[in-house]
Structure 1
Amino acid sequence: MLWSKTRKALRARGVMGINQRNGDYILRYNKRSLYPLVDDKIKTKKMALDAGIRVPELYGTIATEQGISTLRKVVDTHRDFVIKPAEGAGGDGIMVIADRFEDYFRSASGRIITLEELEHHISGIISGIYSLGGHRDQALIEYRVTSTELFKRISYEGVPDIRIIVLKGYPVAAMLRLPTRQSQGKANLHQGAIGVGLDLSTGVTLDGTWLNRKIQRHPDTANAVAGLTVPDWEDCLSLAARCYDLTGLGYLGVDLVMDRDHGPMMLELNARPGLNIQIAMDDGLLRRCRIIEDYLESVGDKDLPAAERIAFSKSKFAVAGPVAVEPQEPS
């Protein structure tokens, strides 16, 4: 009886379940032949560059054990960089180098790392221990994104990212993911990062959710997470909407980062985006998706320009949330 009432309450809120996501959206809108475009970060990055979409610069790739010896040359001119698996998921296998110290490297958390340790980590990536299917993979060495001053105030060590769900090119919902001490500086909710809902119309942050509990302040910095405006929000929405045109995937999670020097950049794409964004938004994905589907049916499922798709989403999914506040300069 209790489960029946809970299920009815979730349906009334328009909450999407995992089976519904898989059957009605992923299987319906995402052709399996297109999955490699987003599962392989090298392919995703090349497509984005060809389309003029900003992404972190790729310094090099290593695909074989023999190629590991080239690591020193690849990073020789870079004080900081990121190593990640080409087909990894959930942030696993990512190593962030923030600085150099003589012949050593310093991680984002301050740990001193040797070149041999980096090579051993890359060997693990190549062997496939972080890949989606457990098969052999490639290591990417790329530009390290530097967070803006605003995001540094509400984040611990790592760089926050923005997840935007897109249906047929229409932004559906958005959240900011903030690293914490528990998540070890990674912006992954299942590792303990904070999810903060975003007003799709304005880019203003709402309340946060941490370990499935509502919060108003970051547990490590004690700064409020609500009422802040994400910079260049229009660019963020444009990047997300264009990723549908880029890939052809109808139901898509677009992950963006805000770089201090280069503004919003597309980090990666996900053909199977998770459902925790509903908790961060305090709103159901199913309700929002059906609004878009009804609209598409009324216009004959036409592929409208990205600007028109964004305008529709902003008009339908504006949130009566916190008023934006001007952040104080850090002391």
Structure 2
Amino acid sequence: MFFWKTWKALQAQGVMGINRRNADYVLKYNKRHLYPVVDDKILTKERAIAAGINVPEMYGIIDTEKDIDKFDSIVAPYSDFVVKPAQGAGGDGILVIADRYEGRYRTVSGKIISHEEIEHHISSILSGLYSLGGHRDRVLIEYRVTPDEIFKSISYEGVPDIRIICLMGYPVMGMLRLPTRQSGGKANLHQGAIGVGVDLATGLTLKGTWLNNIINKHPDTTNPVEGVQLPDWNGFMTLAASCYELSGLGYIGVDLVLDQDKGPLILELNARPGLNIQIANDTGLTARCHLVEHHLAALKKAGKTETVDERVAFSQLHFGAQLNAEPSDTQPSPEPA
């Protein structure tokens, strides 16, 4: 009974649960036949490249055991690179090589591994060890992102990333994910990374959540995670909003990174984004999604649509953290003139 009353109270505050996410958003806005576009990182990258959207450069693809022989020629021009499963999830199976060392390879954590160990890892990926559903997979070899210097004081190894949830191309909530020692340098909340809310209007970080507790400082660096200005925030918002046209999916999580040389890049898309982002932002998704739906209904009635820039402007106007009150989930936005 206590749990039920607590959950009803959270719902009243606009907190979205898994059932509502699945029924009202994932199933409603994401056509099943389009899932392969986001579940396969290679397909996502190929579509993004064709659309002129910035992604980490793709060095090569290994499709079969026989193709493992191509590995040497694919990575020959590069001293650092990333090996990842095309259909992996949660960061599993990703191998990040930072340098070469006397015929061997050095990972970002400093571990030295042999050529044979990498080939064995590639074989494991191909067998489906890390893929969704355990199906046979492909191997993607790509550019290794070097995090922007701004993350140096608030992250432990690895690459921090930014998750922006979008509804029909309108960003509704954002979160910075910071690797920790506990997460093994991975930006995965379930493995111990930190989630930090982000003000959609300004790109300024808010308080963080770590292991479901609200925190103000990174546990490894002890530096504050709140009040950090993310560079080129409008670039991140524009990239995230443009993924609606890229994927055709209406409710998605867009994962982006900030490379010190190349700027904002799209890492991958997720058709079933998690809900911990609400804890990091200390607010619920439901009211924000309802406001977007009301706005879309008004646009449809007026026979209008909005561009990527207009969608970003709408989100920054309505979902900035500086707003004292949450947007109403019943009051529609004004009809377009």
Task: Please tell me the TM-score bracket, short chain as reference.
Answer: over 0.9
Deviation at 1:74, TM superposition (A): 1.1
| Counterpart AA for 1:256 | L
Q: Structure 2 CA distance, aligned partners of 1:253 and 1:29?
A: 13
| Corresponding residue for residue 234 of structure 1 | 234
Residue 294 of structure 1 is matched in structure 2 by 294
> By how many angstroms is 1:265 displaced?
0.3
- Give the corresponding residue for 2:316: 314
Amino acid at match of 2:148: T
**Stretches of structure 1 lacking an aligned partner (at least 5 in a row):** 322-331
Superposition deviation, residue 319 in structure 1: 0.5
**In the TM superposition, what is the alpha-carbon distance from 1:102 to its structure 2 partner?**
1.4
CA distance in 2, matches of 1:290, 1:98: 44
In structure 1, what is the equivalent of residue 40 of structure 2?
Answer: 40
Q: 1:63: how far off?
A: 1.1
User: Cα distance, 1:110 vs. partner?
Assistant: 0.2
Q: TM-score when scaled to structure 1?
A: 0.95
| Cα drift, residue 240 of structure 1 | 0.3
Unaligned runs of 5+ in 2: 324-337
The answer for the alignment partner of 2:256 in structure 1 is 256
2:179 corresponds in structure 1 to 179
Which AA in structure 1 matches 2:89?
A
Q: Which SS does the other structure have where 2:15 is aligned?
A: coil
What secondary structure sits across from 1:154 in the alignment?
coil
1:299 deviation in Å?
A: 1.9
**Separation in 2 of the partners of 1:76 and 1:291?**
51
Of 284, 306, 318, which aligns to 1:304?
306
Using the aligned pairs only, state the percent identity.
Answer: 64
Which of structure 1's runs of 4+ aligned residues deviate more than 6 A? none
Q: 2 CA distance for matches of 1:171 and 1:291?
A: 12
SS in 2 for 1:136: coil
1:121 matches 2:121: yes
Opposite residue 174 of structure 1, the aligned amino acid is G
- Cα separation, 2, equivalents of 1:152 and 1:159: 10
Cα distance in 2 between the residues matched to 1:210 and 1:320: 23
For 2:305 and 2:124, the matched residues in 1 are separated by 43
Q: Contact 2:174–2:197 (CA<8 Å) still a contact in 1? A: yes
TM-score (norm 2): 0.94
Deviations 1:122-161 (A, max 9, x none): 0000000111121100111100000111112110000100
RMSD: 1.0
Equivalent-residue separation in structure 1 for 2:51 and 2:171 (angstroms): 19
Alignment of 1:1-331 (within 5 A): 1-300=1-300, 302-320=304-322
